[in-house]
Amino acid sequence: MSKKNVDDYLQEGMYGTRLPNESERKKYLGTLRERIAFVLTIGEVMSNKGLVELERQLKQHPKAKLLLNGNISYQFLKEEKSLADRFSISHTTVSNQENDTEIGLVLTYSYAVDIEHIYLKDIEDISAPNEKEEEEKNSNPPKGFVSKLKNLFH
């Protein structure tokens, strides 16, 4: 282990102790990627695009905590906060003017959960092919002799 020099002590005194994965913490409103269950970007929060999915995620993760980007106006966060209150999930507004991030909302735990798909776009991409397959199954009738016979009498 290396010894600390004077510069290290000065840096620690001025800026505090360095945290592991500091860039990751800046991006995800103070938490680590491995702890996140769901994320919305600032644009998705402001357009209320992910409200339905947020509600589903809040039901699915009742012990999580909601972090909200403090750089977003309160009027855009009102519905997200009311959803969190409805499901009794604590929420915190994280305001850090020094950190510039595109993340608007994070549903997180205090421990690692390692969920692979946390972004709204990824979740929609996964569910869209499944919905298309169901529609195709329902829209394409079987092409057997019995179905042709039924079509003749309809």
14 belongs to a structural domain: no
The per-residue pLDDT string of the chain (154 residues; one tens digit each, 9 = 90 and over) reads 466 678 777 777 777 666 667 888 889 998 999 999 999 999 999 998 999 999 999 999 999 999 999 999 989 999 999 999 999 999 999 987 677 889 999 999 999 998 999 999 988 888 776 555 555 555 555 566 666 666 666 6
Q: Please tell me the distance from the alpha carbon of residue 49 to that of residue 73, in angstroms, as a whole number.
A: 16
Sign of CA dihedral 101, 27, 33, 111: negative
The count of structural domains within the chain is 1
135 belongs to a structural domain: yes
Q: Please tell me the distance from the alpha carbon of residue 55 to that of residue 124, in angstroms, as a whole number.
A: 14
Other CB atoms within 10 A of residue 84 CB: 23
> 32: domain range?
19-153
Say which amino acid occupies 58: L
115 belongs to a structural domain: yes
Q: Please tell me the distance from the alpha carbon of residue 71 to that of residue 97, in angstroms, as a whole number.
A: 8
12 belongs to a structural domain: no
31 belongs to a structural domain: yes
13 belongs to a structural domain: no
127 belongs to a structural domain: yes
The CA–CA distances, whole Å, from 144 to 36, 65, 152 equal 49, 54, 13
User: What CATH number does the domain containing 132 carry?
Assistant: 3.30.1330.30
pTM above 0.75, yes or no: no
